[in-house]
Every structure is written in structure tokens, then in C-alpha cells.
Amino acid sequence: MKMSILRHTTLIVVVFLTLLSCEKGRFPNSDNLIGSWTEQTDNSFKHKLVFDKETMFFFQSNAIDTLAYRLDKKSGLLFLSLKGNPSAGESNHKILLNKRRKSLTIFGLFASIPEATNETKFTKD
């Protein structure tokens, strides 16, 4: 009987620890985003994002875009619009943050075919 209880308890602890170690990305708040983020890629040039309270600076190989951003927790989306030309409209992107790994994933940030939305991963500097 004692051996059965010990096995049962051990199994519960192992399952709990496994679930705890598999932290999934969560929707961030503005405070989580503030700072510099570098793209995780094998390419020689790595895109960079710098967030402050309401602005995102997007460093590309040939330009720096200044974007206004807002987060919509209900829909789980990041909305982006050109800071100097808000009438140009806004794009929206699914966004996930893994606090433990200091990793940010943005879906559809770069153009792709509609059938295959790309995901771009960034690590906090």
C-alpha cells in the first residue's frame, strides 16, 4: 500500500514538473515589450525591434521604420501603423511572449504566401 502511494505521488510530481517546464508563449503587455529585441535567424543581417510605451522602431537592412503599436489582449493581436502616416492603415499580427526564455514570436511580420503565415522569433537584448 505504501509503495503504491509513493509511486502515485512520484507520478504526480513528475507530471507537474513536466508541465511547468513546458511554458508556452503568452500574450504580452506593453511593459513586457519595452526594450530591444533581435531576430533569431541564421542570416547575416538580423532585424531588430525597439519598443517604448507607444512606438516600435523596426530596424531593417536598408531602413528604419517608426511604427505606432497597440496590443489587443482580447484578440491576441499586435496592431502596427506608420507613425508618420496613420491614414495608411494598420497591420495586425498574432504575438506571443515566453518570459522565461525572453523570446518574442510575431506571426506574419514579413510578407509570405497566404497559405503559410511565417513566424519571426526575437530574443530580448
Q: State which amino acid sits at residue 91.
A: S
DSSP 113: -
Dist CA 85 CA 4 (whole Å): 67
Give the integer Cα–Cα distance in Å for 66 and 55.
7
Contact present, 10 and 81 (Cβ < 8 Å):
no
The mean pLDDT of 41-57, rounded to a whole number, is 96
pLDDT digits (tens, 9 = 90+) for 15-47: 444 444 445 679 999 999 999 999 999 999 999
Q: Please, what's the b/e burial string for 36-50 (b: 16 or more CB within 10 A of its CB; e: otherwise)?
A: ebebeeeeeeebbbb
| pTM exceeds 0.75 for this model | yes
The answer on pLDDT for 14 being more than 50 is no
Quick one: pLDDT at residue 7? 60
Instruction: Evaluate if residue 64 carries a pLDDT over 70.
Output: yes
Listed as own residue / partner, the contacts of 72-78 with beta carbons closer than 8 Å and 24 or more positions apart are: 73/27, 73/29, 76/27, 78/106
Confidence at residue 15, expressed as pLDDT on a 0 to 100 scale: 46
CATH numeric code, 24-124:
2.40.128.50
Q: Is the pLDDT of residue 11 over 70?
A: no
Q: What's the whole-number average pLDDT of the chain?
A: 85
pLDDT tens-digit profile of 86-107?
Answer: 788 999 999 999 999 999 999 9
